[in-house]
Structure 1
Amino acid sequence: MNIHIEGPIIDRKSSAICESILRSLPDWFGIEEAVMDYIHKAAENPAIIAWDGDTAVGFLVIHHHNPYSAEIFVMGVIPEYHLRGVGRALVQKAEEMLQKAGVEYLQVKTLAATHPDPGYAKTRNFYQAVGFRPLEVLPQIWDERNPCIIMVKALKPEAI
């Protein structure tokens, strides 16, 4: 395994990669309307891609809210590459990019612990392992059956 991280890029290539990887993760991305929204927005926002040789194995899309905060809008790693450091490398690259831009806070939204899904328990554990902390549960942002938790991480922007 020889992982190379590319980005940020903003183009249709990232949208196609996003679709391919999201389709390999139906346990996390099973709502077609949401998948199509992720795919569409991947072409309009900065994306970071993880490659193993010529194969895209992971991606992360950033959405800037304002000069001080950004969000991991969507992220995915194909199942064969879970627990191999790919997700951690994607988040690290995003943090470096955002720190250089002076961004102070990074957030991510995921399924809250009040939902029993074991896959999302792993997702929350991953984000905590890379430094995110729970901020707030918003049970109705998506719908009552899919309660949202916002997790945040303070970034230390580079001196300008």
Structure 2
Amino acid sequence: VPRIGLTTWSGNKRMIKAATESGMSLEAQIRLVRYYQGQYYDSVRYGITRKEFELTHKWSVSTINDPIERKNIAKTILNDLPQWFGIPSSTQTYIDECQHMTMLAIKDQGKPVGFISLKFTKKTTLEIYVMGVLSDYHRQQIGSRLILESIKYAKINGYQLLQVKTLDDKHPDQHYALTRKFYRHHEFIDLECFDSLWDDPCLILVKAL
């Protein structure tokens, strides 16, 4: 079975809660098509693919609420990734700023192995400020799991776009070529390149939710 799902109406809060807690994501919403006791409600469809289900059960994601723990997680993981975070001053800025943002993290037997920090930018847009996975845990779908959880978080909180900044294709760095490939695989699309936002050309990618 490649996918399971359900369709209900927006007034059925218990069914919606069951869907989201089981890992399903909102896939479709048709507004004001169900009429009940003098009021119109939306029709909503939730679903989860086999791949998403397997990711959900392989790696559990937790929200990190303690600012000090956020900082320590960011420090440990970003310092393990000099290919992406090789400028000490910039890396320290990421570490410091992570204290004040929503952080989702994956742990392996209590050890943080991956995290993503989310930054509010506009009422409709949530930004992936920084994400990292310990080098020994690459290619284990941890990054994909964090993206899926970030999408769920964004939808629940009413955001319509998820955006991320990275180096543009103009830059020859092969590690950031992998970064762009990762986001494009998750259906982020190129929005715009700013040559003067950073010292190097900055590409903004977005994903509609």
TM-score by length of 2: 0.70
SS of alignment partner, residue 142 of structure 1: coil
Structure 2 partner of 1:151 = 205
Aligned counterparts, 1:43-58, within 5 A: 43-58=99-114
CA separation in 2, counterparts of 1:52 and 1:92?
18
Identity of aligned residues (%): 35
**Which of 127, 131, 139 matches 2:195?**
139
The more displaced of 3-12 and 118-127 is 3-12
SS of alignment partner, residue 124 of structure 1: helix
CA separation in 1, counterparts of 2:153 and 2:123?
13
SS of alignment partner, residue 141 of structure 1: coil
TM-score by length of 1: 0.91
Q: Which runs of 5+ in 2 are unaligned?
A: 1-57
Say whether the 8 Å CA contact 1:5–1:90 is kept in structure 2.
Answer: yes
RMSD: 1.1
**Which of 88, 91, 95 matches 1:32?**
88
Aligned counterparts, 1:65-84, within 5 A: 65-84=121-140
Which structure has more RCO (C-alpha within 8 Å, separation ≥ 6)?
Answer: 1
Say whether the 8 Å CA contact 1:112–1:137 is kept in structure 2.
Answer: yes
Q: Which runs of 5+ in 1 are unaligned?
A: 156-160
Aligned CA distance change for structure 1 residues 52 and 34 (closer, same or farther; 3 Å): same
Aligned pairs, number: 152
Structure 2 partner of 1:120 = 176
- Deviations, residues 34-92 of structure 1 (Å, cap 9, x unaligned): 11111111110000001111111111000001221010000001111112110010011
Say whether the 8 Å CA contact 1:132–1:151 is kept in structure 2.
Answer: yes
Residue 99 of structure 2 aligns with an amino acid whose one-letter code is A
SS of alignment partner, residue 103 of structure 1: coil
Say whether the 8 Å CA contact 2:64–2:70 is kept in structure 1.
Answer: no
CA separation in 2, counterparts of 1:73 and 1:9?
17
Structure 1 partner of 2:149 = 93
Structure 2 partner of 1:108 = 164
Bigger radius of gyration among the two: 2
Say whether the 8 Å CA contact 2:61–2:104 is kept in structure 1.
Answer: yes
Residue 207 of structure 2 aligns with an amino acid whose one-letter code is K
Deviation of 1:8 after TM superposition, in Å, equals 5.3
Deviation of 1:126 after TM superposition, in Å, equals 0.3
Say whether the 8 Å CA contact 1:135–1:151 is kept in structure 2.
Answer: yes
* Runs of 4+, deviation exceeding 4 Å: none
Say whether the 8 Å CA contact 2:192–2:204 is kept in structure 1.
Answer: yes
